[in-house]
Structures are given as C-alpha cells and as structure tokens.
Homo-oligomer: A and B are copies of this chain.
Amino acid sequence: MFYSKENLRFLLHEVFHVEDLCKRTYFKEHTIENFDMMIEAADALAVNHLRPILIEMDRTPPHIENGRIKVHPKMRELMKKFGDDGWISMSAPHEYGGQQVPFTILQATAFIMAAANYSTMAYPFLTNGAAHLIETFGSKHLQQTFIPKMYAGEWQGTMALTEPQAGSSLSDIVTTAASTSDGHYLIKGQKVFISCGDHDGCDNIIHLMLARIEGAPAGTKGISLFVVPRMRMDESDNLVFNDVHTAGVFHKMGYHGAPIAHLIMGEQNDCRAYLVGEPHKGLSYMFQMMNEARIGVGLQATSISSAAYYASLEYANVRLQGRMLSDKNPLNPQIPIIEHADVKRLLLFQKAIVEGSLALGFQATMYLDQWRTSEGEEKENNFLKLELLTPIAKSYPAEMSILSTSAALQCFGGYGFTKEYLAELFFRETRIHTLHEGTTAIHGMDLLGRKVMMQNGKATMLLMQDVMNDIASAKKHDALIPHANTLTQKLQQLQQVTMHLITVAQKDGVETFLADATLYLEYFGIIAIGWQWLKLGEKAAVEKQSLSKKYTPEFLQSKFHALNYFFEYEMPKTEGLYIRLCSNNNVTMQTKAEEIV
C-alpha cells in the first residue's frame, strides 16, 4: 500500500465534493462514478505497471549512449500505454481528443502514480502540461502538428526554461531566437535541468522553450515562448534532426527513473523554433504550465511522503521490539513498535503531513477548476485564491516531505538507512521538490511580495472568508470547538504578522520586508494545513454522525487523532515563527557576506 484509496475517496467525495464540478458545462459529461473509475484505473496502472519497476529504475539510472539518453526499457511501453489509455490527454478539451476531466481528478490520478513510482509519472504529466500550453496559446498549425502525437505518448513534452546562468533568475535567459523569412526562428543556446529533455522511450521530444528574440528588451519583458522539437518534420513529413543536441544527463540523488538533460541548441545553426503566441509574452504564457506544475509538485512531494508513510506504518505494525515501559519482565514477548509512543508520534506526524498536504493540494486544484469554468466575479475570486495558495501548496508539502520521509526512515531504525527497505529511496527521491519549479525562497517572495500584496490584499481576504466558513461549520461539533478557536486566533495572528511586515516594507524597504519571506511562507503554510485538518475533522464528524457507514470507524477515528496531533504538535510551531517574524532584529540584513566565515 502506498496511498489510501479510502482517504482519497473521502477527500474527493466528502471534503471537496468534486461531483459539484459536474454541474458545470465544461465537465457536464462526467459523474462522480466516472471519476471513481478513473481512480480505479490509475490504481491498477500504478499497482501493476509502475510500482513493480521502482527499485529497478532506482538501481539503473538513465545514462548517455551515443549522444542519446537511455532510460529504463519499460518506458517505451509505458509511454504508449499512457497515450493509448488517455492519461496524457484526459484533461484536454474534446476538440483535442481529450475527456475534459477536471484538473483535480487529473492530479488525483497523478498522485496515485507518483506514490507508486514518482519518476514514471513525470513523463506523461510533463507532456500533458506542454501540450496544454500549445492548446491554449499556439496557432492551429502548431496544435495540429504537435498535440496529437503528444497526447498519443509518441512524443514527449518538456518545459525548457533554466539555463546555466539563469535558474531562479529567469530574466537572465540568453538563449536567442533569430527570425527567418520562412516564418520559423533559429535558436542558439543551452538549457539545463530539463526533465525528460531527451530519452529513448518515445520518438521525439517537444520542448516548450523560453528564448529571447534578437533585439528583444532585456529582462523578463523580452522573453518569448517557442516550440522546439528535437526532430522536425521535413517537406515529406519525415522526421529530421533539429539540431537539439544532448550535451549530458545529470547524475542525481534520486528520481532515477526520469532523465534530466542538458541540451545545446543550434550548434549547426539549424535549430528551428516556432513562436507560440505573441513575441515577448513567453513568460506569462509559461506561467500557465508553471503554476499547474507547482501545484503538481506539492502533490507529488505528498505522494512520496504517502508512500513512505504507508511503508513505515506497515513495518511498525509487524516489527517487534521492546516492551511497554511499565513492563519490566524480559521474559514477556516483544511488542510491535507501533505500540511505542514515539513511533506513534512519528506516524501521526507523517499522517498529518500527508493528508493535510493532499487536502491543501486539492483545495488549490478545486480553485483552479472553478476558475477555469466560471465567469465574472466568481472567476476572478477563484483566480485570486488560487494565486495566493499556489506557493503554499507547492512549498509546504515539498519542505515537509523531507521531514516526513525522514520520519518514515526513522521508524525503520537501522534498517531505514539500508536498501533493504524503500524508506531511504523515498528520502532521496523527494529532496528535489524544494528545488524544482522554483526554490522555496522564490515561493516565499512570491507569496509575501506579490500574492499577499496584490489588489490590496484581496486574495488573502477571500481566502480567509473560506477559512472562516469552515471554522463556522466545525463549531457545530463540540469536540472541534477548541481547535476551531485556535485556528481563529491563528488567523488573527497571521493578520498581525502581515500588517507588521507591511509596515516594515514601508519603513525599511523591500529587502528587509522580504528577508524572512521563507519563514512567512512556513508560517502561513502551517496555518493553511491547520485549516485543512479542521475541515477534515469536521467532515469526519459528519460521517461519524451519519448512518451511511461509508467509512470504517478506525478511518474516522484516525482523522480525529491526526487533527489532534496537528493542533498539539505542529500548530504550536507558529509561536516561534510569530516571535521571529515580528522581531525588529534584522539578522540577515546586518550580516555582511564577508562576515559569514
């Protein structure tokens, strides 16, 4: 077991009511039964095809052979399967051969696959994101040329942003695009850290690439988006090499099933690129893919935390070691380690992180689905809440996955450090998530410097409204009142902190204002997860009262324990952060670089 199907059902049905999405025109052909079947299909794929090759993939990372990246031989078969069974296209509009599945359901299936084998999931969902970009902003010709092959799993899609000198600082991209009289551009430059940027599991790689048209303004305002295929079609529709050279594959700590490539374009001055949309608007287009990918990263970090949690839970139930502290008789049999308080704590911690993060992820995907399928004020409001929540839904699960998988590993004792169990693999694998799709620091600045401030704090106000509604619902259950009150108080504290920081911005300028943005992100994150847990508790209380018996008593009781855990062990961490965020002792501002030795 690497995730809980019961919990996924609970989240989708009881907590987020995905069936409500089916009332919207765009999703009207779907039903909740339909969604459940997709979950079942993802589960079957994960169990039968993805998990069985996890260890083998980890032990045989991608490597370069004759200038191409070779991946696990099973990937070609899987790519075809992803295409044939509709996993790549599921969220696309009918006109592009898709099923118009909500992003929430797409991410739920990706969650299952990533929990089974994170690397394998990267291939189809990157392709989905890339095709979706062409769908939204590309010309009809580009759409017709590329999308069908991508959705069929024959051609891989990528997002090609990062360059050696331009990682967090995207404005420093120097890859150039020279216009030609034939309508296409010629690209010169290099890209690094391109996930699935080259591999032999498909016939072609389609890069959605940021580059600078010659003469474009400096900075982010001069960046354009291009489709850059590894192989392009010649006049007779044969695939010919498009001068996208694979310069290397990164050897990495985990995520061994998927290659990360270093690419060099235009060595023979023959790398053709096709402009997407208008010139110089590339970054804003790319943000569609980036924002979806960011929510995805949060959920995928959660997948790995989930896989590690269930591995450690299983072990804790069977591994015998020690006795109750009150039992001093060494002749008594040893007990399963789950009976020890500290092991329970390690498990409840993981459960609180996994299920809280998963809920927060779906909160974001639901805002996204509602935004995409609404108009006017509803659209605007959902957009604002989504924008605000995205850096949190990306970073909290990513950062906490390091600790959550570490807690799983700890449950295994010395065995956790060995390759006899999967805990060490999950611990290695998840470490990428605070780095790709924007480091945590970038998201901290995005949250505090941009999202909290936009439209005079309207996004925060709207989000708080939703939180307050959930608090009101929770208060109908006596047992939840203390937690509801704690959350109310935390919201007030959050407002205080935000106001304090705005004063700092006005008084001391932007550097000091954002110096601890990462801590603000963490602080906001804990409160956001507290919100989700209160909601999970409320829905569990409703289910407990109802006579439906859709969930086992243990399942529901488990929710109350994890809620209690979160408010007793995690929520108090806001106290230290509150003190720090309100302090006027600007440690990092006072510290000169040369005084760090």
Please give the residue numbers on chain A whose beta carbons come within 8 Å of chain B beta carbons, in ascending order: 4, 6, 162, 165, 167-169, 171-172, 192-193, 218-220, 250-255, 260, 313, 317, 320-326, 330-331, 334, 336, 338-345, 347-348, 351, 402, 406, 409-410, 413-414, 416-420, 424, 427-428, 431-432, 434-436, 439-441, 444-445, 449, 509-511, 514-519, 552, 554-555, 557-558, 561, 564-565, 568-569, 572-577, 579-580, 583, 585, 587-591, 593-597
Contact = CB atoms under 8 A, between A and B. Distances in A.
Interface of A (DSSP majority class): helix
A486 to B, nearest CB: 11
A167 B417 CA distance: 14
A331 B436 CA distance: 26
A393 B497 CA distance: 35
B587 A420 contact: no
Contact of A410 (B414, B440, B552, B588): B440
A339 B592 CA distance: 8
Contacts of A220: 330
Contacts of A420: 250-251
B344 A593 contact: yes
Contacts of A434: 410
Given A325-B445, A345-B516, 18 more contacts: A165-B321, A167-B321, A218-B331, A252-B418, A252-B419, A253-B427, A254-B417, A339-B593, A344-B588, A348-B591, A402-B406, A413-B439, A424-B431, A561-B591, A568-B587, A569-B580, A572-B576, A575-B579
A317 B593 contact: yes
A167 B565 CA distance: 28
Contacts of A419: 250-253
A29 to B, nearest CB: 35
A580 to B, nearest CB: 5
Contacts of A336: 593
Which A-B residue pairs are the 4 nearest by beta carbons? A219-B330, A572-B576, A341-B515, A342-B441
A342 B518 contact: yes
B577 A572 contact: yes
Contacts of A514: 325, 341
Contacts of A569: 519, 580, 587
B416 A435 contact: yes
A325 B444 CA distance: 13
